[in-house]
């Protein structure tokens, strides 16, 4: 069975200008595009994020994954992080955000996952949307109307997350199941990118750099120029072809508009109806 989404992706990561080590880890290999931002002193965060990504690496090469596949890998990852020996990562934790390719009745879907404050965005039909919702103290304050989005980006509590893998958290991930369209561009990043670059700037770079590797490299570079106060990781994922229900043929970017399954591609739904489980 061929992959339901044909993908070209690029990724870049950098320690940044202030930190001594890079505690971010990432995986950009079909069908998984994930960023993990580790936390914990004495390199513990680096060990935790690497352990989680290593667990998901065992799934590389499959045409698609299910929510159950991801949940099972997450349980194994959690056990690995919780079993880290004292001194080499006890109490360590990590975020996890990104997309995996899913197959829903023969159609290509993005299965987005999030735990913590790394982010997954989607540029689709000319519009950039943040898919993931941060599990953070400032996001809770924003949700409750106690802080506006602008103040949140400067708030001293902006690095405090409310769910993680490890770090004493047993918080469940959020999942979103979104029908993919040829031409979709997904960005997965750590807060070292979203904390340095305004969303409008991220949007502009994603639109102006056609090549996904060039886009990822430039985003990380620009975050460095803005201060590089944290580790920075960006994965840019382009859907060049998406299998649709009608005949199972690939709809390429150029022909999507005239494909017979056009009404299908236009079937955008409100986010509330797309949640596949979890929910915040």
Q: Which chain residues interact with Mg ion by CB under 5 A?
A: 37, 190-192, 230
Read off the tokens for 95.
């975020």
d(CA 32, CA 87): 30
Residue whose CB is less far from Mg ion, 44 or 259: 44
Q: Distance of CA 65 to CAs 31, 100, 183, 229, 245, Å? A: 7, 7, 21, 35, 18
Closest approach of Cβ 5 to Mg ion, in Å?
28
In three-state secondary structure terms, 262 is helix
CA atoms within 13 A on the CB side of 236: 25
Closest approach of Cβ 151 to Mg ion, in Å?
20
d(CA 38, CA 96): 9
Closest approach of Cβ 109 to Mg ion, in Å?
28
Residue whose CB is less far from Mg ion, 46 or 230: 230
CA atoms within 13 A on the CB side of 19: 22
Question: Which of 15, 34, 119, 132 lies closest to 77 in space, CA to CA?
Answer: 34
Closest approach of Cβ 163 to Mg ion, in Å?
15
Residue whose CB is less far from Mg ion, 82 or 191: 191
Residue whose CB is less far from Mg ion, 30 or 190: 190
The label of the residue with tokens 């409750």 reads 144
Residue whose CB is less far from Mg ion, 181 or 230: 230
Closest approach of Cβ 39 to Mg ion, in Å?
8
Residue whose CB is less far from Mg ion, 160 or 249: 160
Closest approach of Cβ 90 to Mg ion, in Å?
20
Q: Classify residue 89 as exposed, middle or buried by CB count within 10 Å of its CB (0-12, 13-18, 19+).
A: buried
């Amino acid at each position: 069975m061929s992959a339901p989404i044909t993908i070209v992706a690029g990724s870049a990561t950098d320690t940044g200008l202030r930190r001594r080590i890079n505690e971010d880890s990432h995986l950009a290999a079909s069908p998984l595009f994930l960023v993990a931002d580790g936390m914990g002193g004495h390199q513990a965060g680096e060990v935790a994020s690497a352990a989680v990504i290593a667990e998901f690496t065992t799934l590389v090469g499959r045409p698609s994954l299910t929510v159950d596949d991801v949940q099972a890998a997450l349980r194994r990852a959690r056990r690995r992080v919780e079993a880290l020996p004292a001194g080499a990562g006890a109490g360590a934790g990590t975020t996890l955000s990104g997309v995996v390719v899913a197959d829903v009745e023969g159609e290509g879907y993005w299965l987005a996952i999030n735990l913590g404050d790394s982010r997954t965005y989607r540029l689709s039909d000319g519009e950039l949307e943040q898919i993931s919702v941060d599990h953070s103290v400032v996001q809770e304050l924003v949700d409750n109307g106690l802080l506006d989005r602008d103040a949140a980006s400067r708030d001293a509590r902006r690095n405090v997350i409310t769910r993680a893998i490890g770090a004493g958290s047993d918080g469940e991930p959020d999942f979103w199941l979104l029908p993919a369209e040829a031409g979709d561009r997904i960005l997965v990043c750590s807060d070292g990118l979203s904390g340095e670059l305004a969303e409008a700037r991220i949007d502009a770079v994603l639109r102006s750099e056609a090549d996904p590797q060039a886009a990822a490299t430039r985003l990380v570079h620009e975050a460095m120029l803005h201060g590089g106060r944290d580790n920075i990781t960006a994965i840019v994922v382009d859907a060049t072809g998406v299998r649709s229900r009608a005949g199972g043929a690939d709809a390429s970017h150029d022909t999507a508009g005239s494909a017979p399954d056009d009404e299908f591609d236009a079937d955008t739904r409100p986010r509330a109806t797309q949640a596949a489980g979890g929910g915040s």
